[in-house]
Amino acid sequence: MSLTTTQRGTVLLLGGTGKVCSRIAPLLLAAGIPPLIASRSGKAPPGLVGVRFDWDDESIWKLAFSTTGINAVFLIAPVSGDQVALVKKFVDLARERGVSRFVLLSASSLEENIMLMGKTHRYLRELGDEGKIEWTVLRPT
């Protein structure tokens, strides 16, 4: 798979009504990139499109991909003891649906392969090393 940085499509923002994604969505819009706001309620701020998403309900994950043209996902991982398994399963589903880019919001204190988001970080890197996705991990302080 050959990926380029000029590909544009919808960006699925998990935790779309939260502190981080509520600030990312307007920036995407200003850049001409449509955001899709994923939240437990499925509601989005005025002028944006929302979709219902809940890490604890895998039966609705596919709903997030009912909008065509999603090529990127901003991952805010669940706070769960089995976080890595859930995120891997979701990333694999997203890839099956044509998503080629992933951004993981991690934490500054979590190195790659260290519990929770660190293990998710490793999984994304491995997929990237195999040329299957483009990826990045944000580790804000």
Which amino acid belongs to residue 11?
V
Tell me the domains of the chain and their CATH numbers. Answer: 10-138 (3.40.50.720)
pLDDT given for residue 6 in this prediction: 43
Per-residue exposure over 39-56, b if at least 16 CB sit within 10 Å of its own CB, e if not = beebebeeebebbebebe
Round to whole Å and give the CA distance between 69 and 64: 11
Alpha helix stretches (DSSP H) within 31-82: none
pLDDT given for residue 81 in this prediction: 63
Low-confidence ranges of the chain (pLDDT < 70): 1-7, 81, 107-117, 141
| pTM score, whole prediction | 0.86
pLDDT given for residue 131 in this prediction: 96
pLDDT given for residue 111 in this prediction: 58
